[in-house]
Amino acid sequence: MSDTHARSSSTALAPLESFDEVVLPYLAAGYRLARCLTKNEHDAEDVLQEASLRAFRYFQTFGGGNARAWFLRIVRNTCASWYRTGGHAPTAPFDEEQHSDPALAADPETLLLRADAAALIDRALRDLPARSRELLLLREINGLSYRELADAMGMPIGTVMSTLSRGREAFRGALHDQLNERSVKGNQV
């Protein structure tokens, strides 16, 4: 075989991606998703570690394509199975950043307003069906495209688009309800 033929056949095959190239760039996105789904940073770390181990164990099944969607789907599935098996411990850990930041401590009004807004959004999100909530979190927090959402959730892109649209509408309604409820309570005081 000639050198030219040997070189062209060896360059025709792209080098295989390594686990580090496929998974490591998306650890932060995986953590954000796990944190949103577990609502606890320690549980999110546990889920992310388990998801990373699963991704490593089954890396040979990754056929290329969208690595972020592949890994986030593993994180999502790990979180779901983690809850089913009772691996979570519902706790409210001390948030060191929130309680020790001198800039936040210097302005209690800002801290109160931020906490109030976050609680309002959290309550509105909890009112949504799980699938809509997950799609909103993946789209708005992690910035996944519709194609990536379809891959991560294992559903057709049209279903992603319609479910996301209905989820946004339901979130707006739930947020409106939360604001009205707060307004009524405020008027009663």
The model's pLDDT over 31-60, given as tens digits with 9 standing for 90+, comes to: 988 888 888 888 888 889 889 888 888 888
Contact 55, 19 (CB under 8 A): yes
The model's pLDDT over 81-101, given as tens digits with 9 standing for 90+, comes to: 887 776 654 444 444 454 444
- pLDDT score, position 117: 77
Pairwise pLDDT comparison (14 vs 84), residue with the higher score: 84
Looking at the predicted structure, is the pLDDT value of residue 132 above 60?
A: yes
Main-chain phi, psi angles of 64, to 5 degrees: 90, -175
- pLDDT score, position 156: 93
Rounded-to-integer distance, Cα 147 and Cα 157, Å: 6
Rounded-to-integer distance, Cα 83 and Cα 87, Å: 6
Contact 69, 155 (CB under 8 A): no
Domains of the chain (ranges, CATH numbers)? 13-93 (1.10.1740.10), 96-189 (1.10.10.10)
The model's pLDDT over 141-177, given as tens digits with 9 standing for 90+, comes to: 888 888 888 888 889 999 999 998 898 898 888 888 8
* C-alpha dihedral sign at 93, 94, 96, 102: positive
